[in-house]
């Protein structure tokens, strides 16, 4: 069973997310990751297969002081446990990061819409299409909340998600 966490506030998000993920470890997981957007709107994105220590040692000393972000411990349902399939998943431009718990039943049909217009997918997960869909809605003029509402209207299955975007870095 995976865990998802999001933080936005006044304190650096990175340490809060990592501490939160350690509290979710008891649920079981195969990989972990975080994404942060700092005040310059640059994405910080790190993922690692295995225990949370693999992630924390990989990012030691590199965390930016960003005050918003998302984190995830994954229990794979679509795609093997790997760094590429770990969350957060991104859209191709790296402006949207998504963590997701559960299954998007109709992800193959939704993904076809993007592959047919030449967009590449970097993972085998059902999750990645959520990032593409949110980015697409943002490009078409929605704000983040509207974009997520549009996406939940076309996706089927039982799941929860948290998304962040460089277009609106303080919002989850």
Q: What does 136-166 look like in DSSP terms, one character per residue?
A: HHHHTT--HHHHHHHHHHH--SSEEEEEEET
Q: Which stretch binds ligand GLU (CB under 6 A): 49-57, 99-107, 133-141, 142-150?
A: 99-107
Residue span 67-96 as binding mask against ligand GLU, x where in contact by CB under 6 A, dash where not: -------xxxxxx-----x-----------
Closest CB to ligand GLU: residue number = 2
Q: Is 160 in the site for ligand GLU (CB under 6 A)?
A: no
Strands 43-49 and 3-8: unpaired
Cis peptide bond prior to 88, omega within 30° of 0: yes
Sole binder of ligand GLU in the list 64, 81, 92, 102 (CB under 6 A): 102
The token duo for 76 is 């794979």
Q: Is 100 in the site for ligand GLU (CB under 6 A)?
A: yes
* Cα angle, residue 61 at apex, residues 57 and 65 outer, rounded to 5°: 120
Hey, which residues between 120 and 159 contact ligand GLU (CB under 6 A)? 125-127
Q: Which positions lie near ligand GLU, rule CB under 6 A?
A: 2, 74-79, 85, 100-103, 125-127
């Amino acid at each position: 069973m995976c865990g998802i966490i999001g933080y936005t506030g006044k304190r650096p998000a990175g340490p809060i997310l990592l501490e939160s993920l350690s509290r979710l470890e008891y649920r079981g997981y195969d990989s972990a990751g975080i994404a942060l957007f700092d005040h310059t709107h640059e994405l910080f994105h790190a993922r690692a297969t295995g225990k949370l220590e693999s992630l924390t040692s990989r990012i030691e000393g590199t965390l930016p002081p960003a005050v918003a972000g998302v984190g995830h411990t994954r229990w794979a349902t679509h795609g093997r446990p790997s760094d590429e399939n770990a969350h957060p998943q991104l859209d191709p431009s790296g402006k949207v990061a998504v963590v997701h718990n559960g299954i998007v039943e109709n992800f193959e049909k939704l993904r076809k819409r993007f592959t047919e217009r030449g967009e590449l997918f970097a993972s085998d997960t059902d999750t990645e299409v959520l990032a593409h869909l949110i980015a697409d809605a943002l490009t078409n003029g929605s704000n983040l909340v509207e974009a997520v509402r549009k996406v939940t209207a076309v996706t089927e299955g039982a799941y929860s998600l948290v998304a962040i975007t460089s277009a609106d870095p303080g919002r989850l």
